[in-house]
Structure 1
Amino acid sequence: MLLSACHTPNQIEVIAGEDTITPLHQDGERKGRFHNLYPGKKTYPTTCEADCYPTSPKLQCEQDSENCQYIAEQETPKLNTGYTVRWLGHAGFMIRTPNGQKMLFDPVKEQFDSPVDLAFRLASGFYRQPGDWLTQSELENLDAVMYSHIHYDHFNKADIEELGNKPRYLTPLGMADNFPTGGFNISEMAWYAKTNISDLAIHALPAHHFSSRVMVPFIYEDNDKDLWNGWLLEQNGKTLFFAGDTGYSKHFKDIQQKYGDIDICLMPIASYYSEESPNWYRYVHTTPEDALNAANDLNCKVMIPWGFGNSTWKMGDRTSHSALLRLLHMVDEMNSQTPLYILNEGESISL
């Protein structure tokens, strides 16, 4: 039965058309490749310049901001949205919607697909500590899996085989050909496209990022042939936004203008710095202060940060929890009015 499923063609639909955006280069050497809505040199409303990583009694760590747990007491925002959010680690979330649908964002169980996984370990010496994962019962009762883009820390083919072909898969444009064969039901969606699962509306939204798939460590191919998305869930008038990997740009204000204030915002705060390419990393990844400004643009009623943590890849980060330390610092420095709720891997919050 399993062998037969492996040879079953995938079912692929493309959801685009009127009132959606397909951001393709129309000419030049990048013709047919995707691009961001607001390319070009960036200026940022806020930048931490010094003493950005003070220690915090809210974190209990094994050593200097490594292998930490957030231990401070937190007040649960009284939003009454009906959403339950569980952080699997890095960018992975399991969401239970107000009416009971079970959804995943960017689930990645291990580090990389084989054989790249082994090659990367040999080349870099780094191995990611896995985060939380789903029980067998949860695996068998998923309604949908949503991917933001094809980078390995957000999309792993081996995990798709474990998740199975029962749930519906929602992806950015161009991404379906990265899936294994096995009768998977895949919907590729343009920016601002909408689809439904029962009475749950799912909107594919812009992000400010890029796409590539590494075949050998540090050698990238297929640059920008697949799109990158954020996602918005909407049910009973309540909204949950997953930003995907993204830099700060005007697209956040665009989203708020189109959909109104957002109830729950799952925002990335890490992978924004590299000594070799400091400007590039921030261009495509929000710093903690960028994430706070984006949450303000969206008028988020609560922001849950991700990208840091004990199961992160630490790409462009000093330590596992340096980004969280910077976030806690900048909340005070900026006098941010957006309520925060901090999860450790495996923890859930009903909002």
Structure 2
Amino acid sequence: MKLIYLTTLLITLAGCSVNNQVETIQPEQSVVKYQKQSLENNDPRFSNLYPGEKSYPITCEKDCYPESPLVVCKSPAENCSYTGKQFRPKLATDFKVRWLGHASFYIESNDGSSFLFDPVSEQFDWPVNWAFRLSAGFNRQPGAWPTQQQVENVDAVMYSHIHYDHFNKDDIALIGNKPEYLVPLGFAEHFQQDGYKVNEMTWYAAKTIGETTVHFVPAHHFSSRIWLPYLYEDNNKSLWGGWVIEHQGKRLFFAGDTGYSKHFTDIAKTYGEMDVCLLPIASYHHNEHGKWYRYVHTTPEDALVAAKDLNCKVMIPWGYGNASWKMGDHSSHSALLRLLHMHKTVNPDLPLYILNEGDEIHL
């Protein structure tokens, strides 16, 4: 009797699943690059536009983390709040920007459209969350997730790449299949079949959501879904990138994870200056792995140089914070302290708007 009931239940559940709607969007002339060796092996893997050795315009060498009176911490660079007086830039973009923690943002435009960038509400996917807890000794504090009503009414969800700190499969089920999902090429296979509307996009592809146009743009990074890169069969089989959203002639740029390269200049040449730039400043380390980390992640000074390349009118940093995985020199706010220190040298005329998790600004 139990076997009959279980079989019936499984058939019923299988019958309730609905195939996803997957669309591939690409410009007439693709700029996506593949690794030459992978093409020779008939196993295509994506490549960065500008691979190879990098030189960086400026690097902080010493005394990179002076205490700031604007950052109040319970212990050195830990459990902090930014308390400085904020000067609201007069941009008239009509974007509302709320930082949810790490790389996650909730964006609203004045036509009522709303968007999520890289929404990760709590931890990594299992079992990586378990492995991180054992190796790092802590769990990330949950981010400042939007309200249930906001989640239910979101119009589009954009993911930059498939790494665990930017994409958690549990959050897809939490958000549901009502919004459009805009993702890099090769990403759709990571969605369960449940009626999701998935748009796979190549670099410089675009899709219109309401009155907003969303562009997928290059980044300098990589993709994989295990702990160690370059050792897994799906490494670089899905693309990575950032996003530009345009609304009423105003542009907001979300970089995703990226190292510094010429792609920032390319983006500015393609779309013009950026009104708002959401740029990463963490995930680098001063240790034996520092060179590799910097190759695929911007230091605070790299982000400030990128903001110059993009002609950003205001920069909002992310990656640090009390709801972070402490990827910037292994503390919650060291990356922010370094940013505030290097801002005076690298790009002092650039307006910074510093958020604590859950803060919102109407630009």
TM (norm. structure 2) is: 0.92
Written as runs of structure 1 = structure 2, the 5 A alignment for 1:142-161 is 142-161=154-173
Partner residue of 2:145?
133
Partner SS for 2:183:
strand
In structure 1, runs of 5+ residues without a counterpart are none
What is aligned with 1:197?
209
1:252 alignment partner in structure 2? 264
Q: Which residue pairs with 1:322 in the alignment?
A: 334
The answer to which of 70-79 and 109-118 deviates more is 109-118
Distance in 1 between the 2:345 and 2:330 partners?
Answer: 21
Q: Which residue of 2 aligns with 1:188?
A: 200
Q: Of 1, 26, 40, which residue of structure 2 is paired with 1:16? A: 26
- Aligned partner of 2:300 among 282, 288, 305: 288
What's the secondary structure of 2:305's corresponding residue? helix
Distance 2:326 2:232 in 1: 19
2: CA distance, partners of 1:74 / 1:272: 27
After superposition, the C-alpha distances for 1:274-306 in whole angstroms (9 at most, x for unaligned) are 523111100000011100000000000000000
Structure 2 residue aligned with 1:61: 73
Contact 1:256 1:262 in 2 (8 A): yes
- Residue 62 of structure 2 is aligned to residue 50 of structure 1: yes
Within the alignment, does 1:41 sit opposite 2:33 as a pair?
no
Corresponding residue SS for 1:202: strand
1:235 aligns with 2:252: no
The AA in structure 1 aligned to 2:195 is G
**Which of the two has greater helix per residue?**
2
- Cα 1:45–1:215 shift into 2, 3 Å: closer
Query: For 2:112, which of 83, 93, 100 is the aligned residue?
Result: 100
Measured in 2, the distance between the counterparts of 1:3 and 1:288 equals: 48
- The residue type paired with residue 170 of structure 1 is L
Question: Deviations 1:61-115 (Å, cap 9, x if unpaired)?
Answer: 1100101000011110000100000000000000001322010000001111123
Q: Comparing 39-48 with 131-140, which one deviates more in the overlay? A: 131-140
Paired AA for residue 99 in structure 1 = D
Counterparts in 2 of 1:109-128, with a 5 A limit?
109-128=121-140
Aligned Cα root-mean-square deviation (Å): 2.0
SS of corresponding position for 2:22:
strand
1:201-258 superposed Cα distances (whole Å, 9 cap, x missing partner): 1100000000010179997552111100100000100000000000000000011111
**Partner of 2:47: helix, strand, or coil?**
coil
> Partners in 2 of 1:290 and 1:38 — Cα distance?
16
Which residue, 175, 185, 188 being the options, matches 1:173?
185
Answering whether residue 347 of structure 2 is matched by residue 347 of structure 1, we say no
Q: Quote the offset at 1:32 in angstroms.
A: 0.4
Structure 2 CA distance for aligned equivalents of residues 217 and 17 of structure 1: 29
Distance in 1 of aligned mates of 2:31 and 2:190: 22
Tell me the secondary structure at the aligned position of residue 13 of structure 1.
strand
User: Aligned partners of 1:30, 1:343: CA distance in 2, in Å?
Assistant: 46
Q: Distance in 2 between matches of 1:116 and 1:90?
A: 17
Matched residue type, 2:197: N
- Is the 8 Å Cα contact of residues 204 and 231 (structure 1) preserved in structure 2? yes
| C-alpha contact 1:172 1:226 (8 A) present in aligned 2 | yes
Listed as ranges, the matches of 1:329-340 within 5 Å are 329-340=341-352
CA contact (8 A) 1:269 1:324 kept: yes
Structure 1 window deviating more from structure 2 (211-220 vs 304-313): it is 211-220
Q: Identity of counterpart residues, as a percentage?
A: 60
Task: Tell me, yes or no, if the aligned pair for 2:305 and 2:346 is still in contact at 8 Å.
Answer: no
User: Greater Rg, structure 1 or structure 2?
Assistant: 2
Deviates more, 1:176-185 or 1:216-225: 216-225
Aligned residue type for 2:283 = S
Distance 2:157 2:34 in 1: 25
Q: Report if aligned partners of 2:182, 2:201 keep a CA contact under 8 Å in 1.
A: yes
Q: Which amino acid aligns with 2:98?
A: R
SS in structure 1 at match of 2:217? strand
Assess, with a 3 A threshold, how the Cα gap between structure 1 residues 8 and 43 changes in structure 2: closer, same or farther. same
2:6 aligns with none
* Gaps in structure 2 of 5+ consecutive residues: 1-11
Distance (Å, rounded) in 2 between the aligned partners of 1:291 and 1:150:
22
Tell me the secondary structure at the aligned position of residue 208 of structure 2. strand
Paired residues of 2:207 and 2:213 also in contact (CA < 8 A): yes
Matched residue SS, 1:266: strand
The separation in 2 between residues aligned to 1:163 and 1:232, in whole angstroms, is 22
